[in-house]
């Protein structure tokens, strides 16, 4: 099997073919004359052809060199474009697709503001959410299956991450629910616990942390409905006396839109750190860097 061609030798070949001079090509590439001559000798040996012969004022290509020239030139151009794309990113012209892990709660929390930012700063950019099992996220980031993962993901340890916001779990109740005033006025953990024991709850199967809090607070027996989809919760809460546990920031957004009230009962172990996760393999790439810098800036301002 023949040796692969040295990229620097291909650049030297292309310049000599373009300029018709070994010495001028050496100047353009920042090489000494001996280094250029040695490089050309190596390329001649590897390709088994003189490639260039002496001519008045310089050199002229052989038939074999002319055959190779277009292919070498196109290869170098393609490589330069690829390298340039990795170090520069133009958000106004980019059509790039970013794939994101988000839960349905994450979509409700992040996508509205994220898409508003994209619309003004990178109108051709495309996003696609791809919810994954937490056990798959690290590998999916490393493999390039997804570019970023948003969320409270304590299971994802082998990744780069940037804190976006701190939140805590609270209770969402319909406006006018008879327990709201009592919960808000309860001054001690025991009093709040007593009030919580009088509530019935709805939970989402895919969000284990809400189920964990119910269990930790001794409220498993008060779970009356388990559903699959997060976005059905506001309607259920609004139309019943059921209570839902969810991140406080999400609950506050829904309370304004759906006629509900958020109450923080002071759950223990309810704090959550929501972060942006990515793989170290891609963090130097220009578009990747642009995206995470904009996301970090966007959510730090909220």
The answer to whether residue 185 is domain-embedded is yes
Does the residue 147 lie in any domain?
yes
pLDDT band, very low/low/confident/very high, at 271 (cuts 50, 70, 90): confident
Q: How far apart are CA 301 and CA 291, in angstroms?
A: 16
Q: Alpha-carbon dihedral of residues 10, 13, 14, 20, nearest 10 degrees?
A: 170
- Residue 201 belongs to a domain: yes
Q: Same structural domain for residues 160 and 179? A: no
Question: Are 132 and 277 members of one domain?
Answer: yes
The confidence score (pLDDT) of residue 42 equals: 92
Banded pLDDT at 259 (limits 50, 70, 90): confident
* CATH code of the domain covering residue 70: 1.10.10.10
Q: Looking at residue 152, which CATH number applies to its domain?
A: 3.40.190.10
**In the numeric block, which tokens belong to residue 55?**
């001519």
- Please indicate, yes or no, if residue 205 is contained in any of the structural domains: yes
Write out pLDDT tens, residues 81-136. Answer: 666 655 678 899 988 899 999 988 888 888 999 999 999 999 999 999 988 888 89
Residues 258 and 182 in one domain: yes
Which residues, including other chains, have CB under 8 Å from residue 242's CB and lie 6 or more apart?
A: 200, 201, 202, 224, 225, 236
Same-domain pairing of 70 and 49: yes
Same domain for 83 and 11? yes
* Environment class of 1 (CB within 10 Å of its CB; exposed 0-12, middle 13-18, buried 19+): exposed
Question: Which of 20-24, 76-80, 200-204 bottoms out in mean pLDDT, i.e. has the lowest?
Answer: 76-80
In degrees rounded to 5, what are phi and psi of residue 173?
-130, 155
Do 150 and 176 fall into the same domain? no
Work out the mean pLDDT of the chain and round it to a whole number. 87
Q: What is the tens place of the pLDDT at every residue in 288-298?
A: 999 999 999 98
Q: Are residues 261 and 176 in the same domain?
A: yes
The answer to whether residues 106 and 160 belong to one domain is: yes
- In this model, does residue 1 exceed pLDDT 50? no
Q: Where are the alpha helices (DSSP H) in the chain?
A: 7-19, 22-29, 33-47, 63-87, 104-121, 134-143, 180-185, 189-196, 208-216, 233-239, 248-258, 286-300
Into how many domains does the chain fold?
A: 3
Same domain, 245 and 283: no
Residue 92 lies in a domain: no
Q: Domain residues for 66?
A: 7-87
Q: What is the pLDDT of residues 132-184, one digit of tens each?
A: 888 899 999 998 889 999 988 888 888 899 999 888 999 999 999 999 988 88
């Amino acid at each position: 099997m023949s040796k692969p061609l040295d990229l620097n030798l291909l650049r030297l070949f292309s310049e000599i073919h373009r300029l018709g001079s070994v010495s001028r090509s050496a100047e353009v590439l920042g090489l000494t004359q001996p280094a250029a001559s040695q490089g050309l000798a190596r390329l001649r040996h590897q390709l088994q052809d003189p490639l260039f012969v002496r001519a008045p004022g310089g050199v002229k290509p052989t038939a074999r060199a002319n055959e190779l020239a277009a292919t070498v030139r196109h290869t170098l151009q393609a490589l330069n474009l690829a390298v340039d794309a990795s170090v520069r990113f133009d958000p106004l012209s980019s059509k790039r697709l970013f794939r994101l892990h988000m839960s349905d709660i994450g979509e409700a929390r992040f996508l509205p503001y994220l898409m508003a930012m994209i619309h003004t700063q990178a109108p051709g950019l495309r996003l696609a959410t791809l919810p994954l099992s937490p056990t798959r996220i690290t590998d999916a980031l490393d493999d390039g299956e997804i570019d970023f993962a948003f969320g409270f993901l304590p299971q994802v340890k082998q990744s780069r991450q940037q804190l976006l916001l701190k939140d805590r779990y609270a209770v969402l109740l319909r406006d006018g629910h008879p327990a709201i005033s009592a919960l808000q006025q309860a001054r001690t953990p025991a009093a709040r616990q007593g009030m919580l024991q009088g509530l019935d709850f709805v939970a989402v199967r895919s969000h284990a942390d809400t189920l964990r809090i119910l269990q930790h607070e001794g409220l498993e027996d008060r779970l009356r409905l388990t559903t699959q989809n997060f976005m059905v919760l506001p309607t259920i809460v609004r139309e019943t006396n059921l209570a839902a546990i969810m991140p406080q920031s999400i609950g506050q957004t829904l309370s304004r839109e759906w006629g509900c009230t958020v109450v923080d009962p002071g759950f223990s172990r309810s704090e959550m750190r929501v972060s942006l996760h990515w793989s170290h393999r891609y963090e130097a790439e220009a578009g990747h860097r642009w995206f995470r810098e904009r996301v970090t800036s966007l959510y730090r301002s909220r």
